Structure 1
Amino acid sequence: MFGVNHPNIQQNSVMPLTQGFNDIGYHNPTIKTPTLDKLAAEGVTLENYYVQPICTPSRSQLLTGRYQIHTGLQHSIIRPSQPSCLPAHMDTLPERLRQAGYTTHMVGKWHLGFYRKACLPTRKGFDSFFGSLTGSVDYYSYGSCDGPGLCGYDLHDDEGVAWGQEGKYSTTLFTQRARKILESHEPTDRPLFLLLSLQAVHTPLQIPKSYIYPYRGMANVARRKFAAMVSTVDEAVRNVTYALRKYGYYRNSVIIFSTDNGAQPFTGGSNWPLRGRKGTYWEGGVRGVAFVHSPLLRRRRRVSKALLHITDWFPTLVGLAGGNTSQSPGLDGFDVWPTISEGKESPRQEILHNIDPLHKPPLSLQPVWDASVQAAIRVGDWKLLTGDPGHGDWVPPQVLPTLPGRWWNLERTDSALPKPSTLKNVWLFNITADPCERQDLADQRPEVVQRLMARLAHYNQTAVPVYFPPDDPRADPSRHRGAWVPWVHGDEGEEGKYHGVYKKGKNKKKRKKPKCPLCKLQAFFLKLNTRMMSNRI
């Protein structure tokens, strides 16, 4: 349809980080996002859209269209020192778009591994890349740490280190690069795919002072800074949208806005009224904020309740581009453009949130599915969680904790806490009727529990082994002029060294950690959303 009438459809995606359900203006008017609100109101707001609870899994599923169980990235994130990345044999969304005649560009956060050059964005289908390779960097210095004394510079232009950018706020810098790409490209020559993956609103909470003023009435300092950072995202989207209009892209553009996971309440985010937070499989961790804005939409100005997942963007965008997914075997995503554009029924009826065998306590006696394995699945109206889904808090925004250590005293329920005599490991909810997961129906509807467990068992039969290798000391930035860069060269491949499932851990030869309490405290806060949170996923 679009291939004939609009041969040069321009595709533009914006992905802010760690933005919760309650962190956008059209869900919460105290958050000032006029641009996002307007774009969503004029397009299609996706109110039944799901992502993954942390960064790496969401990004891997966006770019491959496959569940984590099919990429080996079921467990946690890819840390800077880990020799891991997207599977070498697996095609990516930008590769398929390039085959369809697109020029492809990425600006912002990668977080899909970089231990070899073959893992870099420019080797995974992007014609250009400007941004950070790790999961969390300082907004001004571009420093990134993977532990005390293990820090380095992380800003890259294509495959080289972009030195000399210190002092420039990353959201502003990334937006400027995105606008430069749009300015330098001629939209009538080749269609363009731009992925703008902003660092905001990920920790650390850093913001130019001028953005804080509108939120000066917020008593909670973290919430105040977080809200101001959301406003920088809104401004970035406004500037990019203006560039789309100015340089002749807008008429044939499809603009997609999507978060990559839920928010962290104790670092200023809010998922209210949903349960849980980033790093958990409760709705607050996996229900994403998203909308599509485009002149090409047939039915605009509406809210869609159709079930959608982040894996769906791969076949949807390739289909829009006139590309072919027949050479992409094993896709878990669906082409949902008719659902978004015309309001047709979604082809998706279920979502596998994940199966993570590394979070497995002692075996249970479940005949269909080992309920001690951490897993979550959505089938129709029903959602099943097994194992340890993470802390099940409901955190009203007015009681957001001022200090990270105070989150534990927020509202909790007995079902969210392990009891001394028994450890609960099965929850069932009717998400359509109970989106806040207040009423556990596992005991009342055992037949539904068994049916969804059977689906988990079915998916598990197709799972590849978890790939979670130990840290590699060769990654240390001090060996590479102080920057995070690929450290495995030539034909040397790390994948062959690690087979099957690996426990978290270091190499046998441990690094000597400096005795520096301040350094340890600094590293702790820098990594709130990486290593510490990965232990709850």
Structure 2
Amino acid sequence: MNKINKGFIVVLLCVCSVLVAQNNIQKQPNIILLFADDISARELPIYNSTVWSAPKSNTQKGGNTSNLEFRAQTPVLDKLANQGCYIETAWAATVCSPSRAMMMTGRYAHLHKWWHNKDRGKAPSGKGNWNLYESSPYNIASVAKAGGYSTYWAGKTQMNIDGFEFDEGCFTPGEGSYNKAIYTTDFRLETRKVNGNKKLFNADTGKELTQKSYVQSGWYWKPHVQLKNHPSTGKGLVWWPNDKTSKQEIGLNVYGPDVELDFVFDFMERKQKEDQPFFIYHTSHLGHDAFDFLHPESGQKWPGTPKISWDGSKYTRITPNITGDNGVYDTHETVTESGIHHHINYLDYQVWQYMNKLKELGIENNTIFIFCADNGTSGYGKSSPVSQKGTHVPLIIYAPGLNMTKKGFQNVLANMSDMVPTIAELGHVKIPDSYEINGESLIPFLTTHKKTHRDWVYGYHMEKQIIRGDYVLRDGNDVWYDVSQKQNDLISFPKITYWDSVSENHRKERDELLRILPKYNLHEAEHDAPKKGKDKPDPLTKYN
């Protein structure tokens, strides 16, 4: 072999080795964040609570139960939690809007001013509420976009979505929102004037409600759906169904959570073909109570889901068969009874679908899957400032390609505000030091031998502040608890009445938490946005 040929082969081998090395480099991981609604940590079997929530209907009063009939079964989430990890004490705010604000901004209410569902700070102009994308320009969407992700938002909104930088979306708007032009579904509660007084009516039956409820569009059965920037609809928000085919598909047997997932999978497929990393923000309604249009007189709290069954390795879903009209329906035993456990079971089924889709697309080892919830269960912890009833939510992280050093149960503290900086680190995005972020990235804890994540976690309920560390908890009613030992129900911590009865570590941590709280205690002093707004911070930068 002559020298020229030998040299050519050497160069060729070098090039090939470089190409092989490049192909072996881990691609930027996809991220799926499934944010469930009104689900306390105690509802998931992996948290080993001795009590959970019973259905609420004419025959069941709800509240606590240890009846296994009402225990959720989550084989898929259990597997992900044990193969990945799950956090013992993950906190949110006590109710939907401020908790979603925490999740989407990585900040607490002293900055974004969403103190409670109906307690939001005014915009700098003094007119209307301050939008999250205005108070917090470096939010979950803009950070993901800066990291090179194609972004998708599916499910519940509960806010003005126009200013968020999500590329596409599929929304089931729900509370207080419907479009009368969408004649394909009359599953909505609406106000009508009767003798000059506003009354709440079921549009499906035309009857005035005798039970307590609120204006809402159906987001479960026969749902109201909007698409954002879908290739079939063009730019902007468009109500779905929007063509002849989809209008034929909508009906009693269409289930909102299924519609959301169908469009999410469509997006994932398109992005995988484009070799484009994606971020899915799936804010499911599952877990949230709603008016049961299939049983309008029942007073049931959690409408039934399509029936599913688990055989030890896979789920089978029974195709819904619902017939009837005007409030009189027959589900032909294809829909479950009421109960939050059925909602959680259906979430587990959807997580199973997610895992199957990732395998189908060949990206199961390069996708980070996070499961969490926005606040405690309705009727138990939701909107409660007592102990950690309102703030304690599940948090499961499954990331087979992340080289996680943590596996299974993790006795550490985490907060929903941690998601924005975690996504920033995954996307190699540098948030300017001049911009206040209250969350802390989970990546150092997940991928190193770091034993702890946070020293304390924080939640809020209007003017009430809730904070805890490893030893003590101060709830929104200024009651202190000893949290150094886990309780069987995850909540019945002993109250601290005499500080001499606890250790020096308890007292030191109390003093530290008391030094932290004044920074965030601005509900009265700085309830609204600054009149001039805030200067735009330095731009986001991406690092290698």
TM-score bracket, normalised by the shorter chain, equals 0.5 to 0.7
The verdict on how the C-alpha distance between 1:211 and 1:278 changes in structure 2, with shifts beyond 3 A counting, is farther
Question: CA 1:128–1:143 in 2, change beyond 3 Å: closer, same or farther?
Answer: farther
Task: Figure out how many residues of one structure are paired with residues of the other and give that number.
Answer: 392
- Aligned residue for 1:21? 41
Q: CA deviation at 1:298?
A: 2.5
Other structure's SS at 1:62 match: helix
Deviation at 1:251, TM superposition (A): 1.7
Looking at structure 2, the residues matched to 265 and 227 of structure 1 have their Cα atoms a distance apart, in angstroms, of: 14
Is the aligned partner of 1:110 residue 2:215?
A: no
How far the C-alpha of 1:288 sits from its partner, in A, is 1.0
Q: Which residue of 2 aligns with 1:363?
A: none
127-136 vs 102-111, which moves further: 127-136
- Greater C-alpha radius of gyration: 2
Partner Cα distance (1:314, 1:335) in 2: 8
Match of 2:499 among 444, 454, 477: 444
Answering whether residue 141 of structure 2 is matched by residue 94 of structure 1, we say yes
Q: Is the 8 A contact 1:52 1:285 kept in 2?
A: yes
* Residue 283 of structure 2 corresponds to residue 242 of structure 1: no
Over 3 Å counting, the alpha-carbon distance change for 1:5 and 1:322 in structure 2 is: farther
- Give the alignment of 1:101-250 within 5 angstroms: 101-111=148-158, 113-114=159-160, 119-120=161-162, 123-135=163-175, 143=188, 148-149=199-200, 151=215, 153=217, 154-158=224-228, 159-164=236-241, 165-167=250-252, 168-186=254-272, 189-204=275-290, 205-208=302-305, 210-211=307-308, 224-250=338-364
- 1:297-308 pair list within 5 angstroms: 297-308=403-414
Distance 1:241 1:78 in 2: 38
Q: Which residue of 2 aligns with 1:252?
A: 366
Residue 17 (structure 1) shift: 0.8
Q: Give the deviation of 1:223 after TM superposition.
A: 8.3
Give the 3 Å change call, closer, same or farther, for CA 128–255 of structure 1 in structure 2.
Answer: same
> What do you get for the CA RMSD once the two structures are aligned?
3.6
* More displaced stretch, 153-162 vs 441-450: 441-450
Change over 3 Å in CA distance of 1:234–1:198 after alignment to 2: same
Report if the CA contact (8 A) 2:387-2:473 is conserved: no
1:192-221 superposed Cα distances (whole Å, 9 cap, x missing partner): 10111111011122224635999xxxxxx9
Change (3 A) 1:187 1:209: closer
Which ranges of structure 2 fall in alignment gaps of 5 or more residues? 1-23, 49-67, 121-127, 179-184, 192-197, 201-213, 218-223, 229-235, 242-249, 291-301, 312-334, 502-506, 534-544
SS at match of 1:174: helix
Q: In the aligned structure 2, how far is the partner of 1:9 from the partner of 1:78?
A: 37
- Name the CA shift for 1:143/1:465 in 2 (closer, same or farther; >3 Å): farther
Q: 1:458 offset after TM fit, Å? A: 3.5
State the 1:35 CA deviation: 1.4
Q: Distance in 2 between matches of 1:199 and 1:355?
A: 21
Structure 1 residue ranges (4+ consecutive) displaced by more than 6 angstroms after TM superposition: 461-464, 495-498
Q: How does 1:121-520 map to 2 (within 5 A)?
A: 123-135=163-175, 143=188, 148-149=199-200, 151=215, 153=217, 154-158=224-228, 159-164=236-241, 165-167=250-252, 168-186=254-272, 189-204=275-290, 205-208=302-305, 210-211=307-308, 224-265=338-379, 276-295=381-400, 296-326=402-432, 329-354=435-460, 356-357=462-463, 374-387=464-477, 426-433=478-485, 435=487, 436-444=491-499, 452-460=513-521, 465-467=526-528
2-side partners of 1:93 and 1:345: how far apart? 27
Q: What's the CA shift string for 1:454-497, capped at 9, x where partnerless?
A: 432243369973349xxxxxxxxxxxxxxxxxxxxxxxxxx979
Q: Aligned partners of 2:393 and 2:277: how far apart in 1?
A: 28
Could you tell me how far 1:375 is from its partner in structure 2? Answer: 2.1
Q: Does the CA contact (< 8 Å) of 2:462 and 2:523 recur in 1?
A: no
| TM-superposition CA deviations, 1:149-204 (whole Å, max 9, x none) | 48465532114242444532111111111111112222662211011111101112
Q: Provide the rounded CA distance (Å) in 2 between the counterparts of 1:189 and 1:223.
A: 42
Structure 1 residue 86: deviation in Å? 1.3
Query: What is the TM-score with the length of structure 1 in the denominator?
Result: 0.65
- The whole-number CA distance in structure 2 between the counterparts of 1:136 and 1:316 is 32
The CA distance in 1 between the partners of 2:282 and 2:239, in whole Å, is: 18
CA distance in 2, matches of 1:169, 1:440: 45
Instruction: Give the residue type in structure 1 aligned to 2:368.
Output: V
Q: Which moved further from structure 2: 298-307 or 236-245?
A: 298-307
Question: What's the CA shift for 1:427?
Answer: 0.8
* The structure with more strand, counted as a fraction of residues: 2
Distance 1:386 1:197, change over 3 A: closer
1:43 shift after superposition:
0.6
**Which residue identity does 1:207 align to in structure 2?**
G
**Matched letter for residue 41 of structure 2:** F
Distance 1:83 1:377 in 2: 26
TM-score between both structures, scaled by the size of structure 2: 0.64
Distance in 1 separating the partners of 2:532 and 2:303: 39
Q: 1:198 and 1:445, CA in 2 relative to 1: closer, same or farther beyond 3 A?
A: farther
Question: Cα distance, 1:222 vs. partner?
Answer: 11
Partner residue, 1:364: none
| DSSP 3-state at the match of 2:153 | strand
* CA distance in 2: counterparts of 1:173 and 1:444, whole angstroms: 54
Separation in 2, partners of 1:248, 1:145: 46
Identity %: 17
